[in-house]
């Protein structure tokens, strides 16, 4: 059975390869019966046959890990539009960063 972690690993492998990303992602989804989740016209994540959800956003396993990344970005990124806080995601049970206060 496909788990959220193995699906994340497969997605990462596809993106690292960098070729035919869309095609390879669709094939992976079809093979495992994974559904895409869209909201307001944007791809937000994937729903697995197990009911687990995998978000497209960068996912941190703990609040500390998310805060550490937030800290690094706020010190090093030259961009104006930066994440300002971490939040726990009710869908994938991980932590994400957001630029919304």
Chain contacts with Zn ion (rule: CB under 5 A): 55, 89, 91-92
Kindly report the backbone phi and psi dihedral angles of residue 73, in degrees, each rounded to the nearest multiple of 5, phi listed first: -65, -45
Q: Provide the minimum distance between the beta carbon of 88 and Zn ion in the complex, in angstroms, as a whole number.
A: 9
Yes or no: say if 45 and 55 are a contact pair by the CB < 8 Å rule: yes
> Position of tokens 């690094």?
72
Q: Provide the minimum distance between the beta carbon of 95 and Zn ion in the complex, in angstroms, as a whole number.
A: 8
Q: What's the burial of 40, exposed, middle or buried (CB within 10 Å: 0-12/13-18/19+)?
A: exposed
- Token digits of residue 8: 């994340």
Q: Provide the minimum distance between the beta carbon of 8 and Zn ion in the complex, in angstroms, as a whole number.
A: 11
Of 32 and 44, nearer to Zn ion (C-beta) is 44
Of 20 and 64, nearer to Zn ion (C-beta) is 64
Of 29 and 92, nearer to Zn ion (C-beta) is 92
């Amino acid at each position: 059975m496909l788990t959220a972690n193995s699906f994340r690993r497969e997605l990462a492998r596809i993106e690292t390869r960098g070729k035919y990303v869309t095609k390879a992602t669709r094939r992976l989804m079809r093979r495992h019966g994974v559904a895409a989740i869209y909201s307001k016209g944007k791809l937000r994540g994937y729903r697995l046959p197990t009911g687990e959800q995998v978000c497209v956003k960068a996912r941190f396993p703990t609040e500390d890990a998310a805060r550490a990344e937030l800290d690094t970005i706020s010190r090093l990124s030259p961009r104006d539009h930066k994440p300002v806080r971490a939040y726990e995601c009710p869908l994938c049970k991980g932590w994400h960063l957001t630029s919304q206060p």
